[in-house]
A and B are shown apart, each in its own frame.
Chain A
Amino acid sequence: MAYIPNTSDDRRKMLQKIGVERFEELIDNIPEKLRLKEELKIPDGLSEFEVLKLLKEISGENSTAEDYISFLGGGAYDHFIPSAVSHITSRPEFYTAYTPYQAEVSQGTLQTIYEYQSMICELTGMDVSNASMYDGASAAAEAALMTCSMKGKKKIIVPRSVNPLYLSVIKTYCYGQKIEIEELSIENGIVEPEALQKKISSEYAGVIIQHPNFFGCLEDVFSIEEIVHSSGGLLTVIVDPISLGILTPPGEYNADIVCGEGQSLGNDLNFGGPYVGILAAKKSLIRKIPGRLIGKTVDINGRVGYVMTLQKREQHIRRDKAVSNICTNQALNALSACVYLTLLGKDGIKEVANQCIQKSHYLAEKINSLDGYKLKFNNPFFKEFAVETDNEPGDILEALYKKGIFGGIDLDRFGIKNSLLIAVTEKRTREEMELFVNSLSSIS
């Protein structure tokens, strides 16, 4: 077999050295009744050529965001990824390394994560970022646990403008510790500060909002911050990192925790994963932050180097008292984000954000002027917006498929009738958007 270097002659000599005649003697203590008597029912092995052919065939049964003009979002976005990103992450030095347990031979991984942490802090305006979480949803869930642990309380408010998939994961993570999630209804697509004011009290550990929210709308983060903090709670803001090229960093409006989905920073769509969860916080929360954290130090000769730090928070040291159970995270996806942000840099992140804003507003305006369609909410938005339709959204999407368009998400699956959620990234051209609009207008 191609992945096993030892020959049967090697094995014979090795068994001899071990002092046994047959392999079976080594597994003598696996009771006979537990031994598999038959071969596993798994198809016979294929050659590399055959498996490539097979997988091409299977992948060919999918249609992609390249085959169709995609206006899908909802937490995963079709942004452009510069070629250098995958060339860096495809280096075996990065992708075939383990977690940097031996810092002296892991400086590549450690320094890039330190750079990633620095860039996330710069974007979000926070003091400290961890090395990554699994995805946006689990980052939000960990923020909920962090909030409750900091405050010693077991209630959190989450408005319905937070991505419902994230809400679902937050609930799953909170279920074990019986943390109550109080859902707050929204008005015109956003949190109504008065409603939050009415609901909140010192019983709550904090509030988790999303900005831009699930519907793309900007929340009144400034009023929300005042309300949350005057009740003594912590404020978590879920962000789209691309938006922070233009939008105020949450650190500037005094958010305590910032989390979000980093897929849009140089990671492929990949049918939903692997992505990368962003989690950053104020310095005062550093000892409660989950997961790996990389810090700068020096070696015995005074040369600068990087190590995993504050490990006393983590599972391998604190075991049942650890702040989180996370071990393996999404290091390679964080590296993609780091390389992406490096290539785009100070100007690029602004330009991408601006193009998203300009193009999404262009499309929104065009659609809003069509008969049978109108913007569902009249709030400022970033790159995604909801449209109310006279026709069944399902029928509209069907008609659009025929034109080669993924026309957005039918919000019916989240209990919202007659609405489509439409995302526009910098990759969409005016021509594509015009085709979209013309196709919509021809549906009756």
Chain B
Amino acid sequence: MEEKLIFEISSDSKKGYTLPALDVQAKDINELIPEEFQRKSDAELPQVSEPEAVRHFVNLSRKNHHIDKGFYPLGSCTMKYNPKVNEETAKLDGFRNVHPFEDERFVQGALKLMKELEEYLCEILGTDVVSLQPAAGSQGELSGILIAKRYFEKLGEERTAVIIPDSAHGTNPASVSIGGFKAFQIKSNEQGKLDIEEIKKYVDKNTAVLMVTNPNTLGLFEEQIFEISEIVHSRGALMYMDGANLNALMGITRPGDMGFDIMHVNLHKTFSAPHGGGGPGSGPIGVVERLEPFLPVPRIIKDGSSFKWNYSYKNSIGKIHSFFGNFSIFVKAYTYIRILGAKGLKEVSENAIINANYLLKKLEKHFSIPYKDYCMHEFVASGENLKEYGIRTLDVAKRLLDFGFHSPTIYFPLIVKEALMIEPTETESRSSLDSFAEAMIKIKEEAEKNPEVLHSSPQTTPIGRLDEAKAGRELDVKYDK
């Protein structure tokens, strides 16, 4: 059912709040704020009572798919279950009511938690130091790219290019451009992996960084990564790893050992912080020792038994966040790591890999699989084989919604036509994977026998297929009375 906009259920003089009466002698506002600075008419915010507001938002919430309700196999997004205890710890008064300008002595618990989280991440990633400051993956990327910029500036080298494979996430080339480099795209090889010959050909004294996702966006481990790192390093360039796919690696292998100099991780993916419908996330970066001087400030240092902020790093890229990053996400990730421990983290990655391979096996006879190999935590299928029935991947995605599943990531990576990028994560049971596979197979049969069902899907969702072209053409991005 259509839920009216909150503005449309508003009526004069209703309100959903109470405040204590003003307990100081009220002065004429014009004495305090000159009239020319005051708005002439009130901001037309909604006027509703608390029960009406709550009902409105609860009704809206029910139109969302979410991980607590069902399978969410968005590739590269790592939609795993978000343990409830994380939400409890993050809401402890001693965390949520702390002001960022409090003196260090009053925030020792927060600093200790952050320092320990940095150390755990260093251990998991195999890097020397970590900064928690970036607020999301792409801000981590930008921070890392700026660190490379500052590093080469200090060396007095003018390197202008960052090399990125054609399977990369869109944020990679975007971060590179914002960071003032030119993104240079290289082709993946026939196995969907980094082409060592291309790398030898293009990495030169103009190359600042090779930016890689491992496992890559096809869910494949770059087995020549160590050799590639050696080539890149021998030409004076740095190795950056996009850690979006870290869920496949914990306790099995470490980016630092593969030769990566800089990387970010997404605490809202691998480390179970929820996605919030599009954030908040958290994108800590780890670097090797020689890049430490360039990390964002402030850094936490241990001084005897207490912790302190340190701003005095003259070569730092500066601040990337107003304060220290998305602190409550740190609490969630810390909670998760402490509950799992070393063994649990490894189990996570093993189960993520088993789940992905199991689903791959179940689907491989029914959908084309462009790169045939065991996968890591995710794999990419293609809807190419359905084209002959007039069916596109988009139709498959929409039909899945009718079965109560979220769709996989679609049309990405760009190197696979009609891509369906599927990441089940370790928190799905075998039976949930079986149900999803059955739905996919059923949809394939429908494509062959009754494609109309797919074209007119979804049918059972709160709303039908939406006209995106109209939204772009007749822009309506805010309510007008």
> Are A61 and B171 in touch, CB under 8 angstroms?
no
0/1 string, A318-356, CB within 8 A of B gives 1: 111110111111111101000101111111111110110
Q: Which interface class (under 10, 10 to 19, 20 to 34, 35 or more) fits B?
A: 35 or more
Residue of A nearest to B107 (CB): A62
- Chain A residues whose CB sits within 8 angstroms of the CB of B60 once the complex forms: 107-108, 111-112
- Chain A residues whose CB sits within 8 angstroms of the CB of B409 once the complex forms: 101
> Are A347 and B317 in touch, CB under 8 angstroms?
no
> Are B275 and A272 in touch, CB under 8 angstroms?
no
- Chain B residues whose CB sits within 8 angstroms of the CB of A134 once the complex forms: 135-136, 139, 279-280, 321, 326
- Chain B residues whose CB sits within 8 angstroms of the CB of A278 once the complex forms: none
Task: Kindly state the separation between the CA atoms of A129 and B137 in the bound complex, as whole angstroms.
Answer: 23
Known A175-B318, A271-B99; contact A115-B37, beta-carbon cutoff 8 A:
no
- Chain A residues whose CB sits within 8 angstroms of the CB of B171 once the complex forms: 315-316, 325, 327
> Are A42 and B120 in touch, CB under 8 angstroms?
yes
Residue of B nearest to A249 (CB): B39
Residue of A nearest to B80 (CB): A3
Can you spell out 15 A-B residue pairs with CB atoms less than 8 angstroms apart? A5-B430, A45-B341, A51-B85, A56-B92, A84-B54, A93-B69, A95-B277, A244-B39, A273-B321, A273-B323, A274-B326, A307-B471, A348-B45, A429-B23, A433-B24
Task: Kindly state the separation between the CA atoms of A431 and B23 in the bound complex, as whole angstroms.
Answer: 9
> Are A104 and B68 in touch, CB under 8 angstroms?
no
The yes or no answer to A152 lying at the interface (CB within 8 A) is: no
Shortest distance from the beta carbon of B450 to any chain A beta carbon, whole Å? 18
Task: Kindly state the separation between the CA atoms of A298 and B466 in the bound complex, as whole angstroms.
Answer: 6
> Are A328 and B138 in touch, CB under 8 angstroms?
yes
Task: Kindly state the separation between the CA atoms of A404 and B176 in the bound complex, as whole angstroms.
Answer: 48
> Are A246 and B335 in touch, CB under 8 angstroms?
no
The yes or no answer to A40 lying at the interface (CB within 8 A) is: yes
> Are B178 and A325 in touch, CB under 8 angstroms?
yes
Give the contact stretch, choosing among B1-9, B231-239, B381-389.
B1-9
- Chain B residues whose CB sits within 8 angstroms of the CB of A244 once the complex forms: 39, 43
Which residues between 97 and 120 of chain B lie within 8 Å of chain A, taking CB atoms?
A: 97-103, 106-110, 112-113, 120
- Chain B residues whose CB sits within 8 angstroms of the CB of A377 once the complex forms: none
Give the contact stretch, choosing among A193-201, A289-297, A368-376.
A289-297
- Chain B residues whose CB sits within 8 angstroms of the CB of A17 once the complex forms: 358, 361-362
> Are A357 and B251 in touch, CB under 8 angstroms?
no
Task: Kindly state the separation between the CA atoms of A15 and B66 in the bound complex, as whole angstroms.
Answer: 29
> Are B353 and A26 in touch, CB under 8 angstroms?
yes
Closest 8 CB pairs of A and B: A272-B323, A59-B94, A45-B341, A176-B180, A61-B109, A332-B276, A272-B100, A274-B280
Residue of B nearest to A132 (CB): B279
The yes or no answer to B289 lying at the interface (CB within 8 A) is: no
> Are B430 and A14 in touch, CB under 8 angstroms?
yes
> Are A72 and B461 in touch, CB under 8 angstroms?
no
Which residues between 296 and 333 of chain B lie within 8 Å of chain A, taking CB atoms?
A: 296, 317-329, 331
Give the contact stretch, choosing among B10-18, B196-204, B441-449.
B10-18
Question: How many A-B pairs fall under 8 Å by CB?
Answer: 696
Q: Max chain B CB contacts within 10 Å: which of A40, A46, A74?
A: A40
> Are B102 and A406 in touch, CB under 8 angstroms?
yes
> Are B328 and A62 in touch, CB under 8 angstroms?
no
Known A27-B353, A93-B62; contact A343-B344, beta-carbon cutoff 8 A:
no
Known A102-B65, A134-B139; contact A331-B94, beta-carbon cutoff 8 A:
no
Known A117-B477, A296-B471, A380-B32; contact A349-B45, beta-carbon cutoff 8 A:
yes
Task: Kindly state the separation between the CA atoms of A373 and B24 in the bound complex, as whole angstroms.
Answer: 21
Which residues between 264 and 311 of chain A lie within 8 Å of chain B, taking CB atoms?
A: 268-275, 286, 292-301, 303-307, 309-310
The yes or no answer to B392 lying at the interface (CB within 8 A) is: no
The yes or no answer to A171 lying at the interface (CB within 8 A) is: yes
Shortest distance from the beta carbon of A45 to any chain B beta carbon, whole Å? 3
The yes or no answer to A136 lying at the interface (CB within 8 A) is: yes
> Are A307 and B323 in touch, CB under 8 angstroms?
no
Task: Kindly state the separation between the CA atoms of A345 and B56 in the bound complex, as whole angstroms.
Answer: 14
- Chain B residues whose CB sits within 8 angstroms of the CB of A304 once the complex forms: 2
The yes or no answer to B453 lying at the interface (CB within 8 A) is: no
Shortest distance from the beta carbon of A18 to any chain B beta carbon, whole Å? 5
Task: Kindly state the separation between the CA atoms of A62 and B13 in the bound complex, as whole angstroms.
Answer: 41
Contact of A61 among B24, B94, B178, B355 (CB under 8 A): B94
> Are B45 and A346 in touch, CB under 8 angstroms?
yes
Shortest distance from the beta carbon of A423 to any chain B beta carbon, whole Å? 10
Known: A72-B101, A309-B471, A358-B26. 9 other contacts (CB 8 A): A29-B223, A34-B253, A45-B344, A115-B479, A246-B29, A269-B98, A270-B328, A315-B174, A382-B33
Give the contact stretch, choosing among A75-83, A202-210, A226-234.
A75-83
> Are A97 and B101 in touch, CB under 8 angstroms?
no
Which residues between 169 and 226 of chain B lie within 8 Å of chain A, taking CB atoms?
A: 169-171, 173-183, 221, 223, 225-226
The yes or no answer to A153 lying at the interface (CB within 8 A) is: no
The yes or no answer to A31 lying at the interface (CB within 8 A) is: yes
Contact of B102 among A47, A72, A94, A112 (CB under 8 A): A72
Q: Max chain A CB contacts within 10 Å: which of B80, B250, B478?
A: B478
Known A58-B109, A84-B53, A332-B280; contact A345-B475, beta-carbon cutoff 8 A:
no
Residue of A nearest to B113 (CB): A58
> Are A406 and B64 in touch, CB under 8 angstroms?
no
The yes or no answer to B240 lying at the interface (CB within 8 A) is: no
- Chain A residues whose CB sits within 8 angstroms of the CB of B110 once the complex forms: 62, 271
Task: Kindly state the separation between the CA atoms of A120 and B109 in the bound complex, as whole angstroms.
Answer: 35
The yes or no answer to B347 lying at the interface (CB within 8 A) is: yes
> Are A121 and B478 in touch, CB under 8 angstroms?
yes
Task: Kindly state the separation between the CA atoms of A297 and B146 in the bound complex, as whole angstroms.
Answer: 39
Task: Kindly state the separation between the CA atoms of A324 and B266 in the bound complex, as whole angstroms.
Answer: 19
> Are A40 and B145 in touch, CB under 8 angstroms?
no
Known A29-B223, A112-B60, A300-B464; contact A355-B99, beta-carbon cutoff 8 A:
no
> Are A135 and B353 in touch, CB under 8 angstroms?
no
- Chain B residues whose CB sits within 8 angstroms of the CB of A351 once the complex forms: 19
Q: Max chain B CB contacts within 10 Å: which of A59, A121, A136?
A: A59
0/1 string, B24-42, CB within 8 A of A gives 1: 1111010011101111101
Which residues between 112 and 154 of chain A lie within 8 Å of chain B, taking CB atoms?
A: 112, 114-115, 117-119, 121-123, 127-129, 131-132, 134-138, 145
Known A129-B478, A269-B99; contact A109-B135, beta-carbon cutoff 8 A:
no
> Are A26 and B173 in touch, CB under 8 angstroms?
no
- Chain A residues whose CB sits within 8 angstroms of the CB of B468 once the complex forms: 103, 297, 307, 309
- Chain B residues whose CB sits within 8 angstroms of the CB of A437 once the complex forms: none
Shortest distance from the beta carbon of A247 to any chain B beta carbon, whole Å? 6
Shortest distance from the beta carbon of B43 to any chain A beta carbon, whole Å? 5
Shortest distance from the beta carbon of A100 to any chain B beta carbon, whole Å? 7
> Are B478 and A128 in touch, CB under 8 angstroms?
yes
The yes or no answer to A416 lying at the interface (CB within 8 A) is: no
Shortest distance from the beta carbon of A78 to any chain B beta carbon, whole Å? 7
Task: Kindly state the separation between the CA atoms of A424 and B141 in the bound complex, as whole angstroms.
Answer: 37
Shortest distance from the beta carbon of B405 to any chain A beta carbon, whole Å? 9
> Are A59 and B109 in touch, CB under 8 angstroms?
yes
Known A23-B354, A105-B462; contact A169-B338, beta-carbon cutoff 8 A:
no
Which residues between 3 and 29 of chain A lie within 8 Å of chain B, taking CB atoms?
A: 3-6, 10-11, 13-15, 17-20, 23, 25-29
Shortest distance from the beta carbon of A72 to any chain B beta carbon, whole Å? 5
> Are B322 and A298 in touch, CB under 8 angstroms?
no
- Chain B residues whose CB sits within 8 angstroms of the CB of A317 once the complex forms: 170
The yes or no answer to A248 lying at the interface (CB within 8 A) is: yes
Contact of A103 among B137, B327, B343, B466 (CB under 8 A): B466
